[in-house]
Structure formats: C-alpha cells, structure tokens
C-alpha cells in the first residue's frame, strides 16, 4: 500500500513512518517545504503520488498559543484538512486523521467514540471542526483520537519533567486533570495495524488513567528522582486555554494498547 504521511517528521509522524516501512508499505513523508496541507496548489503533489491512504499527522498543537494565534491554528487544523478532504473526494484515497481528547468538555469521567463533542478551548474547536469536515465530506476515513502524547522525536511532558527533576528538588504538578498518557511508538504501531480497518471514529491511547501529578510521580520513580513531587490545583498555574478535567478515551473498537506505565518504562529505557 502506498501511504503519504503529512507531518511525518514530527513526534508522532516519525514513529508512524518507521512502523509503516517496517510493515512493508510504500511510504512518502514529504517535508513541509515540498508539501504543505494549507496550500491548495500543493495538492498536485498528491495527484502525482497517487497514494492509497493519507495519514495526517500535521497539526497546530500549541494549545495555549492557539487562543491568540487563532488564524494560524484554523489554517492548519481546519483549512488544511479541508484541502485533504477535497483531494480524497476526487480519488480513491482514504484519509486517516489524528484528533484529540480535547474535542470533549471533560464533564464525564470517560468518553466513547460516539459521545457528543463539546470542546472548551480553541485548539479543541479546530480539531472538532476538522472531524466534521471529514465526516460530512468523505465515506472512507478514519478519525483517530488520542491523548497526552510522549515520544522520542519531540518535546513532551516526560522530557520536560526529566529536565526539571535534574534542576529542582521540589516540583508542583496539577492533580485535577485526568487522562491517558500515550507513547507515540505504541500509537504508531496501532495505527499501522488498523490502517485498513472499517471507516469511522477510533479512540487509541495507552491503557490506564492518571492525573498529571500521578504521571510525574511515576516518571520520578523511573529515573530515581530523590526530590519532592507535590500535587496542586490547576488554579496554581493558570493558562490561557481551559483543559478538560476528565478526558479519558474509551477504546471500544480495537485491541487495547499496553498500560501507560509499561509504555513509560519503555520510553525512558530507550531514550
């Protein structure tokens, strides 16, 4: 199968490309200078490549910056996806779109694939709008929601915590937001295994749940941190974008991914 991976040089995209190639697929991962999903004229690149599927890992993911940089966030997360939808409408190409737990408001303890969306920040609004572009415009697609990504090829919470634990003997971490940390290698492997599954919405995260504080304490244990990790409320560190208090995604359609604690151990041992 020939697959184009947009954003193939980012944290998730790198692992997706690697897993696809290991599985024997013909993979094209253009740099942004060659192919930019926000540029309609760049769709000629897809016409030349004629992929069977597009896995869209390209996204504006700076959640707080999105509150003020709305035009750029919309351009990448919505207009860019609409360009891909329009290409797929005129071809036999499937679109696989990476989405987020932030399409939900966090008022429930967990969310199934068919639960009603209600984003509470602008980033979530754009990702929800992108989903709507796809479901209204295409019949052959996969929308894959995930959460709390960490991986070897980009900045992430684990990397930040390890750096801070190397500098400070006391850290305060919020303890009132609950989700499922997800290792990009595990997610990428699942994406490749499911790339030919039925059209629809999927939830793919590592198994298990925690708060950011619990995530941080597990990181501390794994690296032998001797300092103190102290819980606090979100109000202690106010941010421009609201976060859902509960954003656990239930996977009811595919094989479950490994537990997040096991995934964290793999990530730290392989860094």
How far apart, in whole angstroms, are the C-alpha atoms of residue 271 and residue 255? 26
Residues noted as catalytic: 123
Per-residue CA distances from 170 to 165, 173, 191, 238 (Å) = 8, 10, 38, 19
Length of the chain: 271
Rounded CA Rg of the chain:
18
The CA-based diameter of the chain, rounded to the nearest angstrom, is 58
Quick one: angle between helices 260-270 and 212-223, nearest 10? 40
Give the phi and the psi of residue 156 in degrees, each rounded to 5.
-160, 175
* Cα dihedral 146→150→154→158 (10° resolution): 150
Q: CB under 8 Å to 28, separation ≥6 — which residues?
A: 2, 3, 4, 5, 49, 51
């Amino acid at each position: 199968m020939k697959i184009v991976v947009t954003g193939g040089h980012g944290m998730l995209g790198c692992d997706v490309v690697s897993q696809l190639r290991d599985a024997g697929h013909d993979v094209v991962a253009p740099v942004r200078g060659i192919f930019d999903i926000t540029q309609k004229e760049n769709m000629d690149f897809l016409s030349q490549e004629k992929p069977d599927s597009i896995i869209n890992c390209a996204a504006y993911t700076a959640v707080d910056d999105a509150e003020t940089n709305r035009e750029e966030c919309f351009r990448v997360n919505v207009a860019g996806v609409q360009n891909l939808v329009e290409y797929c409408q005129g071809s036999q190409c499937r679109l696989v779109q990476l989405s987020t737990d932030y399409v939900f408001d966090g008022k429930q303890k967990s969310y199934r694939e068919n639960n009603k969306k209600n984003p509470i920040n602008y980033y979530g609004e754009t990702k929800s709008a992108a989903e709507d572009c796809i479901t209204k415009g295409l019949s052959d697609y996969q929308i894959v929601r995930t959460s709390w990504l960490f991986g070897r090829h980009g900045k992430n919470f684990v990397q930040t915590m390890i750096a801070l634990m190397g500098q400070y003997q006391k850290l305060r971490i919020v303890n009132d937001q609950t989700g499922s940390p997800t290792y990009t290698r595990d997610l990428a492997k699942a994406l490749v295994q499911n790339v030919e599954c039925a059209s629809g919405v999927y939830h793919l995260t590592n198994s298990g749940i925690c708060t950011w504080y619990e995530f941080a304490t597990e990181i501390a244990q794994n690296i032998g941190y001797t300092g103190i990790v102290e819980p606090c409320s979100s109000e202690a560190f106010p941010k421009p974008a609201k976060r859902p208090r509960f954003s656990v995604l239930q996977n009811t359609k595919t094989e479950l991914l490994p537990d997040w604690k096991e995934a964290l151990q793999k990530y730290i041992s392989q860094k």
